[in-house]
Structure 1
Amino acid sequence: MKRLLSILLVALMVFSVTATVYAAGNSGSSTINVAGEYSVASTGEVVSVDVGWEEMSFKYTEGEKQWDPGTHSYIGGEDGGWSDNKPGITMTNHSNVDVVAELSFTPSTSVTGTFYSKSGDTYTALSADEQGANLSAAAEGSEQSAADAKTFYFGISGGAITKNTPLGTITVSISFKPSFNEADLAAFTYTTDSFGRVKITGVKDTSVTELVVPDFVYEIELGALKDCTSLVKLTVPFAGNRSNGEQTYIGYAFGANNYTESGTVLPATLKDITVTGGYAKNDTLDTFAFYDCTNLTNIVIGDGVTYINPSVFVDCISLESLTVPFLGDCKKEITDSYQLPLNYLFGYSDYGTKYTDNVHLVYGILNEMYSDRKTSAFDGEKIYSYIPNTLKEVTVNGGAIGDKAFEGQVTIEKVILGNGVNAIGYMAFGNCNNLNEVIIPDSVIDISMWAFRNTPYQNTLLANAEDGFIYINKVLYEYHGSDTDVVIKDGTVAVSDFAFGENTKIEKVTCPDSLRYLGCAVGQSADGVFFKCTNLKTVVLNEGLEHIGVGAFENCSAIDNFDFPDSLNYVGYLAFSGTSWANNLPKGEIYIGKIFYKYNPQGELTEPTTITVKEGTVGIADRAFCRFETDYADFVNLVGVNIPDSVTWIGDEAFYRATDLQEIKLPKNLTELGWRAFGFCASLKEITIPKGVKKLPQYIFASCSGISVRFEENSQLNTICDRSITSGVYYMPEGIQYIFDDLVGTVLVTSMNKLRAVKLSWSVRVLVPTYADVGWTFRAESSVVYYYSDEKPAVNPRTGEYIGTFWHYDENGKPVLW
């Protein structure tokens, strides 16, 4: 008896971020080409490498077996084996710099994977050191076909298998190979590997007080710096043995065998450390990287660090000054990940500390993420951390300072925000009792409500107010005047949330031609610009105004008319709620600027109706097709909405309780979906999310029972927000990086090789294709993982239940469990 099993491999390509490709198999295609590219703008180096995969399909054939009547079993079969095919992996360098391409195989079964070179018809097995190649830069003006290329071959041998199963992963690592100047290595002893990459092995003059390990260094040997007992200041490309290496703590270079030894081996003289991120500018600073480094007073994390994991600076009890490239999990250019408080960097109090006299306990908030523009500092999880009593100054060079990011950091006296910072959230620095100075660049145009409440810096702002106006650069932060007719000064670009909040004296406000943002773009914790200005009757909005923020005119009951400029392209949630204008809208379709604001039938629709949104519309406002005026009554008989491709955003609750909505095609240029946008659309059974959408918002399809949600090819989706999946089947793309909590009882069909964070309360069932990366599943410990099988699994004779966790497609093409 012979049985043939066809096995698929995962092929994985790594640049500065991971890209996943799957070898051809059931698709019928024989080759997959994938290009990964990143650029270092400051130097002009561009890395672009094509990786071509031949079909990674291997067959295991069982040997002949015979029935033994005496034992009632089959015997034999030991002579089974694997097919002898050796598919190729070709890497072609289209970069303007030399690169190093390396291959590795991680098995998920008992098989052995071997890489080969080929000469004629002869294959030669390669050692670990030979599994890679230098690829020269492409010559300027040369043909694509002239690019330097290298092909390796791969084969499987070893252990037997008894059913279709993933065999493992092949990783192709592409790294920029920098040129180096030997003069920069004058202080060090070093070696170079077969690819010409530098490894630091020691220091020539161990009495030095300052060392700079150049960015082009690929690796640092264990203990290479251990004899530098007088060192005061150190600059290194990474913390550990190499960028994103196996060892990830700063003490490795000084001989520490694990992170717990890291602080103990640093010289007592060492006070100042900078980690640049290395030549590739894609380093990850890992948990406990600076654990127990009790003598350090200044730490600088350079802009070359792309990801920062939690609890990096646990028990750095002498730290006075800290510089980080962002406050959060990763660079904003990578993904709009959730903003995190300063506490995130110092760990959880659950770790405990032996330095109770040197630290104080502060809590921070992990903001709950609802959508692209909706977060909450009120609903998020609190984390308690021990902060060093010595910490006085913090510099953040990029991204957003989220809601309550520094709240209660009572030792901090000065904060410097770099030119890459663009927003300051609600109560971001609230209750920082000693915060005297904040340096804010012009790049910051979002400054939310009470950002500096109960700080000496806020007192300074108040003292310097002119005619009641408090400005931070070109942002009108607060108004404390008593005029009834207010003219915002020319040159103002943005007005902060709650800047005029609850001012019952103003009756008229005139906006200057320079104004672009009336309220913040992100954040829902704050009230709007003119919240409860109950005597405000007239607002003169300027042509050129682009953005009206969340709740901007909420409960401004005296406003009965707006003259909206054509330039307006975004309106936030509840921006006009409670105004006389919003309470007396005319019947029909209402547009403001380039925005579809509201379909107002003034009563029940009596027959099935389809609405067509006009061409050129850029957004659909919150509650546009929602009967919110009758406490969320069902919007019956709205069966369809035609949306033009010019629409790029759909607001919160846009179609909430449109219970008869059966079909909707989302525009191809859509990038943003709002909170509860299709909640309770009970008749909606299928929808495809365009590739430009990066976040799946909270309650997006709440109570849409039986809905199937698919995503366009090359989807950019990277974040599943809190409680965004509550019913239906989701055919998820592979680029998911963040999964937030409370995704309960729902089935996913996905491969998640890039997954970085999963909240512990995640309890979904995950249906994994056969080609999925099995390695990620450990990150979803609270989930049940099911693997695809087109054949029925074996049955337990005692229980009658299938053995293992498997799924398949039913006759209607729906994924179901065996």
Structure 2
Amino acid sequence: MMRIKNIAAAVTAFGAAVCCAVPMGTAADDLQGANDELYDGSFYYELNDDDTYTITKCSAIIVEKVPSIRNGKAITAIGDEAFAYCTGISTLEIPDSVTSIGKNAFYGCESLKNVTMPKKLSHLGDHAFFDCKNLTSIELPSTIAEIPDYSFALCDALTDIKLPDTVTKLGDYAFYQCSGVSSFRLPASLQTIGDNAMGSWFAVNDIDASANSSFIYENDMLMDKKKSEIFRASSQISGEINIPDGVQKIHSGAFSGCAKLNALHFPGSLTAIQDEAFSYCSEIKSVDFSEGLDSIGYGAFLFDQKIETLALPTTLKKIDNNAFAYCMALNKLILPEGVESIGEDAFLVCDALKQVSIPKSVKTIGKNAFGYTVENSERQLLEGFNLSVFSGSAGEKYAKSEKITHTVTDVNLKKVAFIAAMAGLAVLVIVFAVVLMRRSSKTASASAKKALKAKKEAEEAKNYKKIMDDEAEVKESDENDSAEDEEQE
């Protein structure tokens, strides 16, 4: 469903393959030479260019401590996937000799609760502790400058995060879904917060930004100093809130899990609502959008089950995948002319929504964007759903490809404009004739009256012919559409 799960599944498959492929080795004494792999019965080692070792694989069932030296050589690194899926580890001490931990190094170590990090660690790979579900605390040394993407994502039990003031960046999804975090202190040097770095923090109620010069925590919201971007809100923020005027962007996951919100008002300054910004806000009932908004990101209002109506602004161009999926109370949707892109599953499982009009401006519509629910883990057409579309538009193509009941609501605008113009001309002719006859009925010559009558009749004949030609064009177009429908069936 969510992007994070797709990534987890992919790495899970890879990690499982790596973990299960560990061969049983021989004793360390049987392996000699600088290029040989060393195995001591618990770990595999690879000799580095600087005559130190990297641990490349752990084969032990239970491990409590990583060695600091083997064969008189320091162990300075833990390689990629080295401990992936070692589920027997609950407490681990990493020696101070280690300066580098590779990507996916402890991926999926579900039993790991406590880890002592080395004091000279300078490199931490992405996904290093991804999905360590029982990890409760983490303290990183002052030698670390960046928390890479997904480093501690899905560490559900993590409650205590201590980062040094040397950290300048939190990568994308760095602490995503660390749902036990209730308080967090921003490092003094932090300048960049990646997408969803603090997303799905369902328990956070305090963010300390007092030591930082780039961010400010005010009115339960973490913002940049200019107050133009919102990065994270307290999960306890409640009731009806007005996003401050001047805010231009609401970052990924900023209000995710804020289950006490019930109404939102956006300012005209807002241009972007990013991925999962208001996901899992289960009490939101109304959303007041303002003109100026350009894009709504992936899963921005995912699982907001009480939203009933949506009137989107005319400035909106893009609605991303899953943007309003599982908004099950949504029963009225106004899509304005101007929207160009509607993503896959954008309104999936909006079961109360039975009628949607797709504007002509829409160029692309993703699969299952409208008219689908989920039953027994499978997508099903929503009973009684109908789309109103323009002929030849992306809306009509979507309805036909998805076999959704639809009505073509557009009319021949050229014809309407022509008829209106001709009607106006006819009125002018009549008014002119009446005035003329009133003013000069006694003096008008028979030839003048005859000329006026002839002109009127000529105009009427011309109008009638034009209307009949348009009718024929419309009829021919409808017959062609019907033929195409029959061929498709």
C-alpha displacement at 1:583, in angstroms?
3.9
C-alpha displacement at 1:766, in angstroms?
2.5
Residues 380-399 of structure 1: matches in 2 within 5 Å? none
Q: Does 1:731 find its partner at 2:340?
A: no
**1:684-707 CA distances to partner (integer Å, 9 max, x unpaired)?**
233679545553456264312223
What is the rounded CA distance, in whole Å, between the counterparts of 2:57 and 2:392 in structure 1?
A: 58
- Is contact 1:723-1:743 (8 Å) kept? yes
What is the rounded CA distance, in whole Å, between the counterparts of 1:585 and 1:739 in structure 2?
A: 34
Aligned counterpart, 1:744: 351
Aligned counterpart, 1:767: 388
Aligned counterpart, 1:374: 4
Aligned counterpart, 2:11: 425
- Is contact 1:594-1:616 (8 Å) kept? no
SS of the equivalent of 1:702 reads coil
- Is contact 1:509-1:540 (8 Å) kept? yes
C-alpha displacement at 1:568, in angstroms?
1.9
Is the alpha carbon distance of 1:487 and 1:614 closer, same or farther for their aligned partners in structure 2, counting shifts above 3 Å?
A: same
User: Equivalent pairs: percent with the same residue?
Assistant: 6
What is the rounded CA distance, in whole Å, between the counterparts of 1:658 and 1:637 in structure 2?
A: 6
- Is contact 2:276-2:301 (8 Å) kept? no
C-alpha displacement at 1:750, in angstroms?
2.3
- Is contact 1:612-1:642 (8 Å) kept? no
Residues 190-269 of structure 1: matches in 2 within 5 Å? none
**1:364-405 CA distances to partner (integer Å, 9 max, x unpaired)?**
xxxxx23xx4336xxxxxxxxxxxxxxxxxxxxxxxxx555x
- Is contact 1:549-1:575 (8 Å) kept? no
**1:704-725 CA distances to partner (integer Å, 9 max, x unpaired)?**
2223234745437466575367
**1:434-475 CA distances to partner (integer Å, 9 max, x unpaired)?**
xxxxxxxxxxxxxxxx44277436889998634865499963
Aligned counterpart, 2:242: 639
- Is contact 2:154-2:178 (8 Å) kept? yes
- Is contact 1:653-1:679 (8 Å) kept? no
What is the rounded CA distance, in whole Å, between the counterparts of 2:246 and 2:109 in structure 1?
A: 36
What is the rounded CA distance, in whole Å, between the counterparts of 2:242 and 2:224 in structure 1?
A: 18
C-alpha displacement at 1:755, in angstroms?
4.1
- Structure number with the higher strand fraction is 1
**1:508-537 CA distances to partner (integer Å, 9 max, x unpaired)?**
4557433363558xxxxxxx4543235x56
SS of the equivalent of 1:658 reads strand
Q: Does 1:562 find its partner at 2:163?
A: yes
SS of the equivalent of 2:135 reads coil
C-alpha displacement at 1:659, in angstroms?
1.8
C-alpha displacement at 1:567, in angstroms?
1.8
Q: Which amino acid aligns with 1:478?
A: F
Q: Does 1:757 find its partner at 2:367?
A: yes
1:478 to 63, 83, 98: 83
What is the rounded CA distance, in whole Å, between the counterparts of 1:537 and 1:459 in structure 2?
A: 32
Q: Which amino acid aligns with 1:735?
A: S
Aligned counterpart, 2:264: 661
What is the rounded CA distance, in whole Å, between the counterparts of 1:765 and 1:790 in structure 2?
A: 22
| Count of residue correspondences | 329
Q: Which amino acid aligns with 2:279?
A: R
Q: Which amino acid aligns with 2:380?
A: S
Is the alpha carbon distance of 1:612 and 1:478 closer, same or farther for their aligned partners in structure 2, counting shifts above 3 Å?
A: closer
SS of the equivalent of 2:146 reads coil
Aligned counterpart, 1:781: 403
Is the alpha carbon distance of 1:463 and 1:768 closer, same or farther for their aligned partners in structure 2, counting shifts above 3 Å?
A: farther
2:235 to 626, 638, 642: 626
Is the alpha carbon distance of 1:470 and 1:592 closer, same or farther for their aligned partners in structure 2, counting shifts above 3 Å?
A: farther
- Is contact 1:653-1:676 (8 Å) kept? yes
TM-score normalized by structure 1? 0.33
Is the alpha carbon distance of 1:476 and 1:730 closer, same or farther for their aligned partners in structure 2, counting shifts above 3 Å?
A: farther
What is the rounded CA distance, in whole Å, between the counterparts of 1:571 and 1:620 in structure 2?
A: 16
Q: Once superposed, what is the RMSD of the aligned Cα atoms?
A: 5.1
Is the alpha carbon distance of 1:721 and 1:660 closer, same or farther for their aligned partners in structure 2, counting shifts above 3 Å?
A: closer
2:302 to 687, 699, 702: 699
- Is contact 2:356-2:388 (8 Å) kept? yes
What is the rounded CA distance, in whole Å, between the counterparts of 2:357 and 2:290 in structure 1?
A: 15
Q: Which amino acid aligns with 1:787?
A: T
1:465 to 30, 35, 44: 44
SS of the equivalent of 2:140 reads strand
- Is contact 1:649-1:672 (8 Å) kept? yes
Q: Which amino acid aligns with 1:772?
A: S
SS of the equivalent of 1:532 reads coil
SS of the equivalent of 2:285 reads coil
Is the alpha carbon distance of 1:517 and 1:749 closer, same or farther for their aligned partners in structure 2, counting shifts above 3 Å?
A: farther
Is the alpha carbon distance of 1:641 and 1:683 closer, same or farther for their aligned partners in structure 2, counting shifts above 3 Å?
A: farther
C-alpha displacement at 1:585, in angstroms?
6.0
- Is contact 2:55-2:79 (8 Å) kept? no
Aligned counterpart, 2:141: 540
SS of the equivalent of 1:766 reads strand
Aligned counterpart, 1:456: 21
What is the rounded CA distance, in whole Å, between the counterparts of 2:23 and 2:191 in structure 1?
A: 36
Q: Which amino acid aligns with 2:389?
A: V
C-alpha displacement at 1:657, in angstroms?
3.0
1:613 to 200, 223, 233: 223
What is the rounded CA distance, in whole Å, between the counterparts of 1:690 and 1:452 in structure 2?
A: 45
Residues 70-109 of structure 1: matches in 2 within 5 Å? none
C-alpha displacement at 1:543, in angstroms?
0.7
Is the alpha carbon distance of 1:593 and 1:680 closer, same or farther for their aligned partners in structure 2, counting shifts above 3 Å?
A: farther
Is the alpha carbon distance of 1:682 and 1:456 closer, same or farther for their aligned partners in structure 2, counting shifts above 3 Å?
A: same
What is the rounded CA distance, in whole Å, between the counterparts of 1:573 and 1:513 in structure 2?
A: 19
Aligned counterpart, 2:67: none
- Is contact 2:276-2:302 (8 Å) kept? no
Structure index of larger Rg: 2
- Is contact 2:299-2:325 (8 Å) kept? no
Aligned counterpart, 2:439: none
What is the rounded CA distance, in whole Å, between the counterparts of 1:457 and 1:711 in structure 2?
A: 58
- Is contact 1:495-1:529 (8 Å) kept? no
Residues 173-188 of structure 1: matches in 2 within 5 Å? none
- Is contact 1:702-1:725 (8 Å) kept? yes
TM-score normalized by structure 2? 0.51
- Structure number with the higher helix fraction is 2
What is the rounded CA distance, in whole Å, between the counterparts of 1:714 and 1:487 in structure 2?
A: 52
Q: Which structure 1 segments of 5+ residues have no match?
A: 1-368, 377-401, 405-423, 430-449, 521-527, 603-608, 628-633, 792-818
C-alpha displacement at 1:635, in angstroms?
1.0
What is the rounded CA distance, in whole Å, between the counterparts of 1:726 and 1:550 in structure 2?
A: 34
- Is contact 2:341-2:364 (8 Å) kept? yes
What is the rounded CA distance, in whole Å, between the counterparts of 1:563 and 1:533 in structure 2?
A: 19
**1:645-704 CA distances to partner (integer Å, 9 max, x unpaired)?**
466533462544312433356753655334626543224233679545553456264312
What is the rounded CA distance, in whole Å, between the counterparts of 1:477 and 1:642 in structure 2?
A: 49
Residues 19-418 of structure 1: matches in 2 within 5 Å? 369-370=1-2, 373-375=3-5, 404=9
**1:461-491 CA distances to partner (integer Å, 9 max, x unpaired)?**
9986348654999634526577524459545
What is the rounded CA distance, in whole Å, between the counterparts of 1:496 and 1:652 in structure 2?
A: 31
Aligned counterpart, 2:460: none
